[in-house]
Structure 1
C-alpha cells in the first residue's frame, strides 16, 4: 500500500466549478426569491401555491448547500475556506440574501473583459443600486412575514413593508411603520447597517467622480488662466 499523501484539491478545479455554476446558481437564487415571495404573499386559501412555493424554496436551498459543500471540498482549505468566504457562509444561513449573487455575477462578467464597459465609479453606483433593490425587496418580504398578524403591528400589508424598507434603506426613518416583533427588529437592524454602507459607497464614489472631473477641467486650462 502506498504511503504517499493525498494531493490537495486543485484551485483550478474550484475556479472552473465556480465559473460553470455562477449562472445556474443565479437562476436558482431568483427562483428562491420568487418562491419565498409567493409563500409570503399568497392568500391563505391558495394552499396549493403555498406548498409549491415551499417546495421550491427547500429545493433551491438544498442546491445552495450542495454548492457550498462542493466548493469547500474543492478548495482543500477546510476551516480557512469558511473564514475567507464568510459572506458565502452567511448567505447559506440566510438564503434570502442569495439573490445578491447577481452582483457577483455582474462583477465576474466585467472582470472577463479587457476593458470593463463601465468606469469604476459607474460600477460602484450600479452595484449599489442593484444591491439596494434586491435588499429592499427581500427585507420587505421578510419583515412582512414576521409582522403580519402580530399584536400592535403597524406593518399590516406588503405595501407598508415596502414603504418601511425604502425609508430604512435611505436612512430616512419616518417612524410611521416600524417592526414590533423580535424577528422584524433584527431584520430592521441589518437593513439599517446595509443602508448606511450603501449610502456611504454611493456618496464616496460620487464625490470622487466630481473631484476627478474638476481635476481634468483644471488640467485642460492653459497655464496662467484664471
Structure 2
C-alpha cells in the first residue's frame, strides 16, 4: 500500500471514528463521575459503571490499533504518535478526545468555521474544563479518607484542580497520597502547556494586528 492510499484510509477512518470516540469519552466521563460521587449506589450499579468504563477503554484501544495498522510504521508508530499512545494509556486524558470531534467534523466539511487563533483558545479552554473535571474526580477518589488529607470533599478537589491548572497554587489544599501527587504533577504539566498555547496564540494574533496596522500606515499617502 502506497503512502497516498494510507493517508486516504487514515483520514476516512478518522472521520468515521470521531463521533463514536466522542460518545465513548462522554460515556466514560459520566460513568466515572457517577462511580466516584455516588457512593451510595448498590454494588451491582458500580459493576455496571465499571463495565461502561472498560467498554470505553476497549473503543479507544480499537481506534489505536486501527491507526497503528494504517500507519504501516510498526513499532515506530508508538514513538511517532507518542501523544496518542499517552492518551490511550492514561484514563485521565480520555475525555480530551471530545475536543477532537469538532476538528474532524469541520475537516470533513472541507473548512473550519473558526480562525486558527479562535480554535486554539476554544480547544485549550475545553481541554482545561475536561481535564480539570476528570482530575478533580481522580484526586477526590484517591484523597478522600486518607490520613491528614486536606482534600476531603469534591468541592475541595475542584478548587485544588482550578488553582493547579491556572498555575496559581494557593497550597491550602494539596494531595497527600502517592497517586494523588502523581496526578497533580501531570495536571501541572498540562496546565503549563495549555497556558502557553493560549498565551502564544494571543501574542501571535496581537503581533499580526500590529503588523497589519503598520503596513496600513505605511501605505497611506502623506497628509497635506
> Does the pair score TM above 0.5?
yes
Taking a change above 3 Å as real, the CA distance of residues 76 and 219 of structure 1, as seen in their structure-2 partners, is closer
1:17, distance to aligned residue in structure 2 (A): 2.3
Q: Distance in 2 between matches of 1:219 and 1:75?
A: 44
Instruction: Find out whether 1:189 has 2:185 as its counterpart.
Output: yes
- Please state if 1:18 is matched with 2:25: no
Q: Is the 8 A contact 1:171 1:192 kept in 2?
A: yes
| Aligned residue in 1 for 2:56 | 60
Q: CA RMSD in A?
A: 2.0
Provide Cα deviations, 1:52-103, integer angstroms capped at 9, x if missing partner. Answer: 2111011111222222223322333210111222112112211231121122
Tell whether 2:101 aligns with 1:125.
no
Q: Deviations over 1:19-50 (max 9, x none)?
A: 21111111011101111111111124543332
User: TM-score with structure 1 length normalisation?
Assistant: 0.88
Pick the aligned partner of 2:32 from 10, 31, 36: 36
Which residues of structure 2 form unaligned runs of 5+?
A: none
> What TM-score do you get using the length of structure 2 for normalisation?
0.89
CA–CA distance in 1 between the matches of 2:41 and 2:23? 28
Residue number in structure 2 paired with 1:3: none
Change (3 A) 1:214 1:154: same
1:113 shift after superposition: 4.6
Distance in 1, Cα, partners of 2:87 & 2:105: 21
Measure the CA separation in 2 of the matches of 1:210 and 1:13: 38
2:148 equivalent in structure 1: 152
Cα drift, residue 223 of structure 1: 4.5
Q: Which residue of 1 aligns with 2:196?
A: 200
Equivalent in 36, 39, 43 of residue 47 of structure 1? 43
| Residue in structure 1 matched with residue 104 of structure 2 by the alignment | 108
Q: 1:73 to 1:220 in 2, by over 3 A?
A: closer
1:80-119 paired onto structure 2 within 5 Å: 80-119=76-115
CA contact (8 A) 2:121 2:198 kept: yes
Runs of 4+ residues deviating >4 angstroms: 7-10
1:160-219 Cα offsets, whole Å, 9 max, x none, are 111100000000001111000010101101111111111111111112212222232333
Distance 1:208 1:68 in 2: 33
* SS of corresponding position for 1:187: helix
